[in-house]
């Protein structure tokens, strides 16, 4: 066999071997459906009643519940922090609502931030591997096993809602890990509206924690169901959304 023809055959075989996973990916695999107890919605949404939230200054219950439930690492270096739900100053979250005459303490008022589960999420548009996608019920999901860690979604998110694991998150877990899968270094993660809990018929961890201490500042439900508590709040209040002019249509609403 001549060198050239050997190389050609070797090249073709390699290309063939490379094609196998493509075929595998195209063949439909097993589907896992949520059980009968699962909460089902057409368009999940959250209302954050910031007045109720601010009535309990310094409260961290929802943040702790979320980060504990999802094994979000407690990274010491603030530059490498991983967070799904946290507080920012009002002037940073809603700069268009801040006038020069507001007292400094109002500008600095803590405001809850999390993934907005947009109707048209820029992160989903830019992801080169479909590691993040929008479910039919509106939740923007993340597959940390497919993510290649290019951080294009972080760059594309107008809300700063996404975190990258700059270091091994398993080295800084908050106590013993829960059932929720821990992640590896080099992938992006964020709030998922607790899909794993919805599948078991339970509300998101933050919502449950906030209700458990009788604050009830976080209301979660189906915005497409007129009978839901979330729908009642959406109809009866002057609600704010973050950066509505960008056309992403966030589904986390604020009563400020």
Please report, as ranges, the residues that interact with other proteins according to CB under 8 A: 21-22, 25, 77-81, 88, 91-93, 95, 113, 122, 124-131, 146-152, 154-160, 163-168, 184-188, 246-248
Phi and psi at 72, nearest 5°, equal -75, 125
Question: Closest separation between CB of residue 58 and other proteins, Å?
Answer: 21
Identify which of residues 25 and 37 has a Cβ nearer to other proteins in the complex.
25
Q: Cβ(228)–Cβ(250) under 8 Å?
A: no
- Beta strands per DSSP E along 181-228: 188-189, 218-222
Question: Closest separation between CB of residue 196 and other proteins, Å?
Answer: 22
Question: Closest separation between CB of residue 146 and other proteins, Å?
Answer: 6
Q: What is the C-alpha separation between 18 and 27, in angstroms, rounded?
A: 16
Q: What is the C-alpha separation between 130 and 121, in angstroms, rounded?
A: 12
Phi and psi at 3, nearest 5°, equal -55, -45
Question: Closest separation between CB of residue 125 and other proteins, Å?
Answer: 5
Burial of residue 145 (number of CB atoms within 10 Å: 0-12, 13-18, 19+): exposed
Rounded to a whole number, what is the distance in angstroms from the first to the last CA of the chain?
A: 77
Q: What is the C-alpha separation between 105 and 95, in angstroms, rounded?
A: 14
Identify which of residues 122 and 221 has a Cβ nearer to other proteins in the complex.
122
Could you give the C-alpha distances from 13 to 1, 25, 55, 58, 234, in angstroms and in order? 16, 19, 67, 62, 59
Identify which of residues 63 and 234 has a Cβ nearer to other proteins in the complex.
63
Q: Cβ(58)–Cβ(183) under 8 Å?
A: no
Question: Closest separation between CB of residue 115 and other proteins, Å?
Answer: 13
Q: What is the C-alpha separation between 17 and 147, in angstroms, rounded?
A: 23
Q: Cβ(218)–Cβ(206) under 8 Å?
A: yes
Identify which of residues 56 and 146 has a Cβ nearer to other proteins in the complex.
146
Question: Residue written as tokens 């801040």?
Answer: 98
Identify which of residues 8 and 125 has a Cβ nearer to other proteins in the complex.
125
Question: Closest separation between CB of residue 127 and other proteins, Å?
Answer: 6
Identify which of residues 27 and 37 has a Cβ nearer to other proteins in the complex.
27
Identify which of residues 52 and 80 has a Cβ nearer to other proteins in the complex.
80
Question: Closest separation between CB of residue 6 and other proteins, Å?
Answer: 18
């Amino acid at each position: 066999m001549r060198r050239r023809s050997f190389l050609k055959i070797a090249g073709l075989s390699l290309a063939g071997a490379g094609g196998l996973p493509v075929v595998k990916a195209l063949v439909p695999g097993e589907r896992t459906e949520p059980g009968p107890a699962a909460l089902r919605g057409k368009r999940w949404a959250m209302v954050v009643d910031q007045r109720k939230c601010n009535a309990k200054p310094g409260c961290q219950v929802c943040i702790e519940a979320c980060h504990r439930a999802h094994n979000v690492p407690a990274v010491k270096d603030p530059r490498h922090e991983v967070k799904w739900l946290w507080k920012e100053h009002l002037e940073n979250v809603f700069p268009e609502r801040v006038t020069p005459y507001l007292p400094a303490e109002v500008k600095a008022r803590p405001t809850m931030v999390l993934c907005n589960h947009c109707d048209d999420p820029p992160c989903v548009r830019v992801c080169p591997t479909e590691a993040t996608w929008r479910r039919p019920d509106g939740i923007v999901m993340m597959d940390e096993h497919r993510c290649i860690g290019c951080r294009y979604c972080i760059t594309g998110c107008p809300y700063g809602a996404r975190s990258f694991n700059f270091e091994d998150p398993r080295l800084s877990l908050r106590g013993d890990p829960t059932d929720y899968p821990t992640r590896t270094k080099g992938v992006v993660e964020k709030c998922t509206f607790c899909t794993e809990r919805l599948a078991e018929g339970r509300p998101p961890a933050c919502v449950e924690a906030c209700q458990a201490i009788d604050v009830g500042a976080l209301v979660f439900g189906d915005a497409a169901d007129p009978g839901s508590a979330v729908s009642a709040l959406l109809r009866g209040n002057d609600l704010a959304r973050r950066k509505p002019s960008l056309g992403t249509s966030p589904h986390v609403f604020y009563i400020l």
